[in-house]
Copies of this chain bind each other. A is one copy, B any other.
Amino acid sequence: MIPSKPRYQQVKDFIVEQISTGALRPSDRVPSENQLVVSMSVSRMTANRALRELTSEGYVERVAGRGTFVSDYRSRSHLLEVHNIADEIELRGHQHSTRVVRQSRQQARGEIAKALHVKQGTDIFHLLLVHYENGKPIQVEDRHILASFAPECLQQDFEQVTPSAYLTGVAPLQEAEQAVRASIPNRAVRRHLQMSDDEASLIVIRRTWSDGIPVTFARLHHPGSRYELTGHYAPPGTSRTMSTDVVQLENLRQ
């Protein structure tokens, strides 16, 4: 016997089902907690939990005193996940390796100083690493780290421990900001990634904070022809396998 789903989950499924089939459309009213108490024979707390979770998942919006309404799909954000490159490669079951190109002490200048909120000339460490997936270069990591945050940085072996693993070990990193751009990389990056002259590069720019101050600033360059960020939005319970489709999408070229 398969264990039955929790009752709050049954209530959630019921509502999502209505939305999926179109029986409930955006801005339509969703049954109130008390109506669910009667129609689904649950306690009000259980109905409340179901609707509250659907709210945080973006399916519905609730207004105290008025009711619960189906939220508009258009206003729902589509999300892309940005993983640590080492974890991502391991997740694919591939072999990850790193080569350290540069690991030096520098003084912050210009834009780096601005990004890290420090004066020109402040001590920083500069890392230039190349990450490989099954031997093929997949990312150039160009990272600057506040020297006062991680004084032992030059002694680390970043071919064994990735910078992000090292940094989170020094102190918890709470906040991050990132941007994704496309551009033609300079010659050095092209060489490290074995890219041709007319190939574009996908760049993730990430700044990370610890305890309210920005401590590291990284530019992650990927070869445009071999790397993409992917995301998938689906309501819970939609168990359709998408993996084969993703492969098809991979093969598309514009």
User: What is the minimal beta-carbon distance from A132 to any residue of chain B, in angstroms?
Assistant: 20
For A232, list chain B residues within 8 Å (CB): 176-178
Q: How many angstroms from the CA of A173 to the CA of B232 in the assembled complex?
A: 13
Query: Does A84 sit within 8 A of B, measured CB to CB?
Result: yes
Q: In the complex, which residues 66-82 of chain A have their Cβ closer than 8 Å to any Cβ of chain B? A: 72-75, 77-82
Query: Does A179 sit within 8 A of B, measured CB to CB?
Result: yes
Q: How many angstroms from the CA of A176 to the CA of B230 in the assembled complex?
A: 11
Do B80 and A238 touch (CB < 8 A)?
A: no
For A246, list chain B residues within 8 Å (CB): 177
Q: How many angstroms from the CA of A242 to the CA of B115 in the assembled complex?
A: 12
Q: Which of B21, B174, B222 contacts A234 (CB 8 A)?
A: B174
Do B182 and A202 touch (CB < 8 A)?
A: yes
Q: How many angstroms from the CA of A19 to the CA of B168 in the assembled complex?
A: 12
Query: Does A152 sit within 8 A of B, measured CB to CB?
Result: no
Q: A73-B174, A77-B82 are in contact. List 18 more A-B contacts (CB 8 A).
A: A19-B172, A77-B83, A79-B79, A80-B229, A174-B235, A176-B232, A176-B234, A177-B231, A177-B233, A178-B232, A180-B180, A180-B202, A181-B224, A183-B254, A184-B198, A184-B200, A203-B254, A214-B245
